[in-house]
A and B are shown apart, each in its own frame.
Chain A
Amino acid sequence: MHDLFRRYGMGLTYTFVGLTAFWLLVLVILPDFKLLEASFRPYLPIVDVGGPKDTYSFNNYMQIFGNEVDFNSFGLHFEIPARIKVFVLTIFYSAVVTLVTFLLAYPLCFYLAKVASNRSLPTLFLLLFVPLWVSEVLRSFAWYIILTLKGPLNAFLMAIGAIEKEIRWVEGYSPVVITLVYAYVLFMVFPLYNAMQSLDNNQLEAAEDLGAPWWKIHWRIVLPHSKPGIASGAVMVFMLSAGSLLVPAIINSTTGNWFTQTIQGIMMEGQDWNAGAAFAFMLLLFCTVAVTVAMRVFRVKLSDIAK
């Protein structure tokens, strides 16, 4: 603070700090806090708000139970409340999206950071960026077109003789997973690229000189070094995927509901902001728990991610 005063003077410093505080407090914390408070109150007609029925309870949160449906995948079969099923599958497929983005990004980043010549880097990065200039809505629709039954993907696969009959791609969770991977892969690429880029080339050469085959170099040197980048990329992709509404809303099949769609239905169609808020906080809480557990398992510290 003292340094800021000296460098920018009193007026500017207070303006900066004041604006930041306003943004954080009024635009981020207060609305969230209002929603959190609302999530414990019942959804009432306007006349009853503030009346004797307006009491705090966990009733909104309990709405996730009830309405039992069959769970019948991964060789498992049991009864489960419909919303919990969607919730669990959303978390699971967000993790799948995260894993797939990592598998795609790892070789790409290694190529960019350690193999590609400095001269070709700007071009390669431009090629990565260009799709971002197109809006996410259009990109999602593009995938919808690619994946439709009579779409280009099936036409191509049939033309080269890989399949005999069209495959129904837009079914279950695969279209959402494919499109989310496409939408968020760059959030994995950049932190991972940064991490790999900071690896000293001599480390790779030293490992090779000591006799290590290529996979051992990756397993023992590149992967451990990249861990903070992987962690920060994974957290971003996972959180963005689990919280994405646009992509599942555009491309989803009837058999692949995303939990954000459930929340949206309750809030917008049911007009029940209280229950919607409760569900949204459950999603946030569970994602945070999932990330924390994953960080424990992979022994990543929060300070690594912040780098």
Chain B
Amino acid sequence: MSAGIDLDNICCDFGKFRAVDHVNVNIQPGEFFSFLGPSGCGKTTILRMISGFTDPTEGMIRIGGKDVKGQRPNQRPTALIFQNLALFPLMPIWENIAFGLEVRGVDKVTRRKKAEELLALVDLHDSADKMVSQLSGGQKQRVAIARALAVEPAVMLLDEPLSALDLKLRQHMRAELRAIQKRTGVTFIYITHDQGEALAMSDRVGVMSQGRLQQVSNPRDIYNNPVNGFVASFVGENNILTGDIGTRADGMASFATKLGTFRARIADGVTKGKLYVRPEFMSLQAKPGAENSVPVTLTEVAFEGNFISVHAVTEGGFDMVAELRNDGTGTVPQAGTKMHMAFDARSAAILPDSDTAGA
């Protein structure tokens, strides 16, 4: 049983500070949805409003189509996984997992059986009688997931649950979480500030800044077609050029900068903005291209293995970055050489800054 969630124009104020500002989004049943944003952007507040610990100042939250206004967290079909997991240190693992069943009056034998099933589901056999302190970080993580799954929630809410783990385990748990979500079919709402995590796991990502939802889309669109400068910068690196928008045609526009005039994609309605192009969409050429190329001097070339990171400076002293794929031929450009950096007009975009309350 999984349920969709509709956030209908919700706002949340803490005193004079507006933490969440008119957020609208419909999350489908069984979807893996991530809220991505820097700390303080309001994503945790959204999670707390869905779980019932915080009330929205305005707007309506529907879980499975039903308005949940006035329902306490213990009455909602949601299960929250806390950033610090909040496992109960004084109970053995199986009692932790079965706690939700215990409060529902399930008898001890059934509880124990269910706890062991869930431990098997999260690949933690033979840990039922251990204490929380005896487990490693990744194991605690799984116990927290099992404890949340035990109450058979329609929606799982995860508040940066992987942030305390080391890199390797984090990447492993990403795949694990995704697999558990697929297996159980429960709607997952995932909060993170790590764009890699959000892009790798989610069906859709909502990028937030200053309480406002900037863009909701699938990971590919978020990365390749960000709607504004904030989204573009938050989910990856960019070369950013300032200038003025010139003539437009067929969703493309010319853009006059100090380094010359470029051509890039532009959305309707954008009248002011900067040109964004990601380092991996840049190429190095010996000769100037037909369009969108800049003469540069390479300042630093770092061979990173799977790619080569090239820093360069233009004649006006402007820094540019390119990431070149290591194609295995062994050609690595040398620092100090003069070359041309170029990019395809379709891989660059002219974007407004970001959607804030004032703008």
Contacts and interface: CB of A to CB of B under 8 A. Distances in A.
A211 B86 contact: no
Interface residues of A, number: 17
Interface in A196-217: 200, 202-203, 205-213, 216
Contact of B103 (A203, A205, A213, A224): A213
Contact of B99 (A200, A205, A207, A225): A207
B168 interface: no
Interface residues of B, number: 26
B121 interface: no
Contacts, number: 59
A165 interface: no
Contact of B147 (A210, A216, A224): A210
Interface string B50-79: 011100000000000000000011110011
A211 B99 CA distance: 9
A210 B84 contact: no
Contacts of A224: 90
A220 interface: yes
Contacts of B51: 209
Nearest to A201: B86
B86 A210 contact: no
A208 B86 contact: no
B84 A202 contact: yes
B84 A211 contact: no
Contacts of A221: 88
Contacts of B78: 209
Contact of A205 (B75, B80, B100): B80
A212 B82 contact: no
Given A205-B53, A205-B73, A205-B80, A212 B86 contact: no
A202 B82 contact: yes
B100 A211 contact: yes
A298 to B, nearest CB: 14
Interface of B: 51-53, 72-75, 78-80, 82, 84, 86-88, 90-91, 99-100, 102-104, 147-148, 150-151
Q: Which 9 A-B pairs have the closest CB atoms?
A: A202-B86, A206-B86, A210-B100, A212-B103, A211-B74, A209-B73, A202-B82, A209-B80, A224-B90
Given A210-B79, A210-B147, 7 more contacts: A205-B86, A208-B73, A208-B74, A211-B100, A211-B151, A216-B103, A220-B102
20 contacts: A200-B84, A200-B86, A202-B82, A205-B73, A205-B82, A205-B86, A206-B86, A206-B87, A207-B99, A208-B74, A209-B53, A210-B79, A210-B103, A210-B151, A211-B74, A212-B103, A213-B74, A220-B88, A220-B99, A220-B102
